[in-house]
Structure 1
Amino acid sequence: MEKEANGKLTVTDDLGNVMILEKTPERIVVLSPSHLNLLYDLGGEAVGRTTLSPDRIPEGAEDIADIGHHTNVNVEEVLALDPDLVIGNTTLHKKLIPILEDSHIPFINLDMILLEDVKRNAKLVGEVIGDREQAEEPIAELELKITTIQEKINQYRGKEEPKKVAIFNITPNNVTVNRENTIPGEVSQILGLTNIAEGVPALEENPTQTAFSLEKVVEEDPDMIFVVHHGEKSKAEERMDIDMKNSPAWSTLTAVQNDQVHFLPENLFLSNSGLNYDESIQYLAKLVYPKAFNDVE
């Protein structure tokens, strides 16, 4: 990322595409909830966003244009907003590159999964909206909050073997297991947990997931099971009934016997919470080390 004396900014996104921004963008359209939160946390504004439930819309973005769900963006509505920058997700939105290129609209696609993605993107977005230093303070605050959480749990870590966890990724159609390069996978690492999918070969079509096998889960016998679900919780529970609970082996699991099967909130573990990433860490830490957080609501 380079800024020239004349104000032009050269940005390389996470797909390796190079964009030249002639001036500070004034009409930004954001195609990902995580990036929208990051933009507003840094003092930026957008003219268009994807469909979100009211509790997930950043303050100030309630009344801007809705351009459809982030997995099925209405491109015509995006173009109608006459944006001078569109920010998307590398996985979901790269298919829109030819359309936006043909319309001469700068388009950057950014990864937003892990903690390092948050820090890197915060600096980039800060630079794009005109103030790279705008990101330095919130990044430092985030790092301090994470350190504080780790200090809270340190007195409980090391007194026993690291807890073994399984992290299920459930859609209405199938079940996979989260590897270490996912939000709950990384948070588990930060908390010193052992993820049964760590180091296991990834699915060919999805490097963040490995195949689900109840036999393998029983063999590993995790202390805790975390569930990340797409869509309604009831649908995920139905999927679990089909793939897990109907098997006698399910009830033999230590996590099941100790009532340690936890559904995780999608705003913290399916979508990256950006500069509030510490909230994802603290949420899981309170489940794993509850005594360390007796003073926290």
Structure 2
Amino acid sequence: MKSKFSKALVAGLCICVTMGLASCGQSAKTEKKYEKIVATSVATTEILDKLEVDNVVGIPESKIYKISDRYKNAKKIGKPMSPDVEVISSLKPDLVLGPKSLEASLKEKYDSAGLKSEFLDLSSVEGLYDSVTKVGKLLGKEKQAEKLVKEYKDKIAKINERAKGKKKPRVLLLMGVPGSYLAATESSYVGNLVKLAGGENVYGDGNGTDFLKANTEDMLQKKPDVILRASHGLPKQVMEMFKKEFATNDIWKHFDAVKNGRVYDLNNDEFGMSASFKYEDALKTLEKFLFPK
């Protein structure tokens, strides 16, 4: 009787162990839930590329910025500002990644389509690396993320060391669109770059507002040492607009920055609207403008 009981107990334990192992296998399989990923902006594809993530099935269309060849076989899902939700759904992704700046306009659409989405803060270089850490944890790429964050901290430390003891130049940052322009604050991405490079934005952080509509008389009163001109789309057209504006509007000749030849145009490749890994090149460019030798 005891022998039969022992055999039954052993058999029962074997079944439990077998079921447990099967359950573990299912658990492991469940944890690997992001097998098909869609990136809706160039910056999010850059993060995934840096983290060595291969399973990206959808990427945005981009005529200005080049997307890594790692994703050459991924399907185009529309423009970053207006991705095609129907096309995204057809790819049956486990995760859709996009910039937080578009969360308000896109999250409800994704939810309605049954798509899981995560939005990344790409409004600053700091936000970019917070996003690297976030995505690293989501996709099991913690080691790659930690390496990238360490490299970033080392780079910023070197920039701070070079700017140490130098007087911060006052900077007027203009963001142009065809036919108009605004003053960009420290809350914008390009403004964040200026701050990291050692400049002082004449409009500060704008109380959290990225761009302000300010008249030229007010700009003159701010007494900027440097004027930087950037563009939001159609860079050639915008820079031509700036040249015409500065040549025909008499008030600009009263700015010290204009008198001293310290008006600089920022190229659209390094100075986009959201944070990217080209920030290092952008900071080197800004250092030359802000602290000329």
Provide the rounded CA distance (Å) in 2 between the counterparts of 1:184 and 1:32. Answer: 18
1:27 equivalent in alignment to 2:29: no
1:280 equivalent in alignment to 2:282: yes
Give yes or no for contact 2:34–2:139 (8 Å, CA) kept in 1.
yes
Instruction: Classify the secondary structure of the residue corresponding to 1:47.
Output: strand
Share of identical aligned residues, percent? 24
TM-score by length of 1: 0.80
Provide the rounded CA distance (Å) in 1 between the counterparts of 2:37 and 2:75. Answer: 11
CA positional deviation for 1:93 = 4.3
Instruction: Classify the secondary structure of the residue corresponding to 1:88.
Output: strand
1:121 to 1:165, Cα distance in 2 relative to 1, 3 A:
same
CA positional deviation for 1:241 = 5.7
Of 27-36 and 170-179, deviating more is 170-179
Of 228-237 and 26-35, deviating more is 228-237
Q: Give the structure with the larger helix fraction.
A: 2
Give yes or no for contact 2:235–2:268 (8 Å, CA) kept in 1.
no
Please tell me the root mean square deviation across aligned C-alpha atoms, in Å: 2.5
Q: 2:52 aligns with which of 40, 43, 46?
A: 43
Number of the residue aligned with 2:224: 222
Give yes or no for contact 1:24–1:130 (8 Å, CA) kept in 2.
no
Whichever of the two has the greater Rg, that structure is: 2
Provide the rounded CA distance (Å) in 1 between the counterparts of 2:143 and 2:33. Answer: 15
Per-residue displacement from partner, 1:271-295 (whole Å, max 9, x unpaired)? 444445333222211222243xxxx
Give yes or no for contact 1:94–1:109 (8 Å, CA) kept in 2.
no
TM-score by length of 2: 0.81
Provide the rounded CA distance (Å) in 2 between the counterparts of 1:135 and 1:199. Answer: 29
Give yes or no for contact 2:190–2:273 (8 Å, CA) kept in 1.
no
Provide the rounded CA distance (Å) in 2 between the counterparts of 1:6 and 1:248. Answer: 70
Number of the residue aligned with 1:143: 153
Per-residue displacement from partner, 1:26-74 (whole Å, max 9, x unpaired)? 2111111111101110111311111123752123123321111111212
How many correspondences in the alignment?
267
Number of the residue aligned with 1:196: 202
Number of the residue aligned with 2:191: 185
Instruction: Classify the secondary structure of the residue corresponding to 1:166.
Output: strand
1:290 to 1:76, Cα distance in 2 relative to 1, 3 A:
same
Aligned 1:87-98 pairs, distance under 5 A? 87-98=97-108
Provide the rounded CA distance (Å) in 2 between the counterparts of 1:229 and 1:276. Answer: 16
The higher-RCO structure (CA 8 Å, 6+ apart) is 1
